[in-house]
Amino acid sequence: MYFCENEIEIPKESYSRPELLPVGYATDLILGRANCKSKQVAKRIRQLIDESGGNLLWTPAKECRKLQVNLSLVSKQFRKLYQVTMRAYSRQIRMKTAEKLLRDSKRLNVDETARILGYSFTSAFSRSFQNTFGKRPKRYQMQCGNTSHWQTMQGHLEKQDSPLQTWSNSNSG
């Protein structure tokens, strides 16, 4: 036993020196925790991308700020988990959504589809769509055959032509 300045008796056995960790181990421990959290956030971001259909109205940077995680770490984790960058994955999902909208929706035109997906400029959407599918969105939509407006107009024109041709044929002969 020994005495401090205030004459308080402190048994030597009760005091133990804090355990010193090697710098490398401490760094690994800190990075391990950061990687674990960034991995969770990367999974959350993928879920948000999937749920939004790749919409550009939210960003991974905002999500990382909200969850207080470094965007760079999350980006690395995302790429490690899914073998693609967040931006490329978002673009893939956006283009799949665009394809589905253009193929299945009878009332949406290319401009409306671009706006739904968060594009400010239809030209940017069109260029991205062409890079993905090898054809412009309007051509894709027309080839899918679900542009009822065009089909109806063509059918309507044919119906108009028929009576006219019948009338002109009956009057000319």
Burial (Cβ within 10 Å: 0-12, 13-18, ≥19) of residue 22:
exposed
Q: Is the pLDDT of residue 130 over 50?
A: yes
Q: 105: pLDDT confidence band, cut at 50, 70 and 90? A: confident
Q: Is the pLDDT of residue 172 over 50?
A: no
With 0.75 as the threshold, say if the pTM is over it: no
Rounded Cα distance between 82 and 158, Å, is: 52
Q: 106: pLDDT confidence band, cut at 50, 70 and 90? A: confident
Taking the domain 94-157, which CATH number applies?
Answer: 1.10.10.60
Q: What is the pLDDT of residue 11?
A: 55
> 124 or 10: whose pLDDT is higher?
124
Q: What is the pLDDT of residue 171?
A: 42
Q: What is the pLDDT of residue 156?
A: 40
- Which residue in 47, 73, 79 sits closest to 61, CA to CA? 73
Q: What is the pLDDT of residue 144?
A: 82
